[in-house]
Structure 1
Amino acid sequence: MKFLPRAATFAAVTFCAGALANAATLNLAPLPQQAQQVQATVQTASAQAQNVLPSQQVPAPQAAVEQQGSDEATATTEYASLSDAVAAQQDAAAALDDDRELRCLATGVYYEARSEPLSGQLAVADVILNRSTSGRFPGSVCSVITQKGQFSFVRGGKLPTPPANAQWRRALAVAQVARKNLWESPAEGALYFHARYVGASAGRTVATVGNHIFYR
């Protein structure tokens, strides 16, 4: 009766030892193969990473490129001289069809300064524009020109029609330069002007250009 329990115990111990040995064999045998697979995966990833060119960049969105081109196109054009700025206003005549303010400004330049140098004509145009934004005169160019008692060439509140000659085309181009602010005014801030032979100015003299004295 004592032999049987001992035999059973020995058999159980032997079975467990064999199971452990088999388990150890099963767990350890695949390790070299698994390590080789991991190493192969790492090498593949490294090769793919080396094929990526660092210099490749994502193209800029088309909208950003178009916006940059638009900004460059709208940049203010610089001219070497006032004559160049005036000569560049080829579209001035076409703008008259639907731009009454431009016609009024050019008419004022023509009748007040058509025999003056370009700088003198520009100064007259700037006086008219300065008045329209000063708050002390009417708020539009045409209203400034037709204001009673201000410009002698105006009759009954109506503007005469200038002849379509070279002087008119030049006055029109000067008006465009003044309105677009393409050239610095030689009489900055002036609100009045008169011919030199009239006498002393009633205000502070800003500049003398051609045959006119400009003041505030």
Structure 2
Amino acid sequence: MSRKTYSLSAVAIAATAGLSFSSADGAGAFAQDAAALPAADQTATTAEELVEIVPQATVFVSEEVVQPVAEETADEPNAEITYNAASLRELVSKVDQSDDMSEQMRCLAGAVYFESRGEPLAGQLAVAQVVINRADDRRFPASYCGVVYQRAQFSFVKNGRMPRIKTGSAAWDRAKSIARIAHEEMWESEAGEAVYFHANYVRPSWSRRKTRTAQIDTHIFYR
């Protein structure tokens, strides 16, 4: 049997699209809509032909659906930023020097500032490395502030307090950058695994029992 094609009015199309085949009420609504068609369409349109306009059968897929996760970028929180620098000085100039620091990072930067702000950058990085190494060593307190404020360890600490820092100075900006570089291991320090250091114009008795790792300007470092 040949199949006929009909041009339905907008009313018929809307009625057909809203058709429900799961209830008797839907069938009744279908009959009413068909009766509302023009005479020419009513005679040509039969229930058999109209029911050919049906939704496609639902196909269920048993396979697992995997949604790809977008890779994190440097603009997103917690994304690791890589700084390309040919020298420590260049790296210091690129690293963020924001005053928005945690207490622990402020302690680390404070040690750099008070112990080595007159030293070359490599010497400042070495001082920061000593504080970090001590915090990782079970013989010392397990935090940067604990290391810095440990009794009789750093001469700049007076009565358990750190002196006031000139926060608007270039020396403090450098100290903050050095602290972050050391903390995030952006640049390898010449001090290596050192946990002690002293100025070269003194010779403490304990230095004879330690292994020297480096001398940078006026500071000598030991492990």
The TM-score, its normalising length taken from structure 1, stands at 0.64
Change (3 A) 1:114 1:68: closer
1:199 positional shift: 2.3
Unaligned runs of 5+ in 1: 1-60
Residue pairs, 1:69-148, within 5 angstroms: 74=80, 76-90=82-96, 92-96=97-101, 99-148=102-151
Partners of 2:83 and 2:91 within 8 A in 1:
no
The superposition leaves residues 8-53 of structure 1 with CA deviations (integer Å, 9 ceiling, x where unpaired) of xxxxxxxxxxxxxxxxxxxxxxxxxxxxxxxxxxxxxxxxxxxxxx
3-state SS of 2:98 partner: helix
Residue pairs, 1:7-26, within 5 angstroms: none
1:177 positional shift: 0.6
Aligned partner of 1:111: which letter? F
Structure 1 stretches of 4+ moved >6 Å: none
Q: Name the CA distance, whole Å, in 2 between partners of 1:172 and 1:75.
A: 17
Q: What percent identity do the matched residue pairs reach? A: 43
The superposition leaves residues 69-98 of structure 1 with CA deviations (integer Å, 9 ceiling, x where unpaired) of 67xx636444211112111122x32332xx
- Greater RCO structure (CA 8 Å; 6+ sep): 1
3-state SS of 1:147 partner: coil
Q: Name the CA distance, whole Å, in 1 between partners of 2:80 and 2:110.
A: 29
Unaligned runs of 5+ in 2: 1-65
The superposition leaves residues 123-159 of structure 1 with CA deviations (integer Å, 9 ceiling, x where unpaired) of 0000000000111100000010000000011011111
Q: Name the CA distance, whole Å, in 2 between partners of 1:139 and 1:68.
A: 31
Q: Name the CA distance, whole Å, in 1 between partners of 2:112 and 2:72.
A: 38
Partner in structure 2 of residue 67 of structure 1: 71
Change (3 A) 1:76 1:194: same
Moved more, 108-117 or 163-172: 163-172
Partner in structure 1 of residue 219 of structure 2: 212
Aligned length: 150
Higher helix content, 1 or 2: 1
Change (3 A) 1:84 1:63: farther
Partner in structure 2 of residue 171 of structure 1: 175
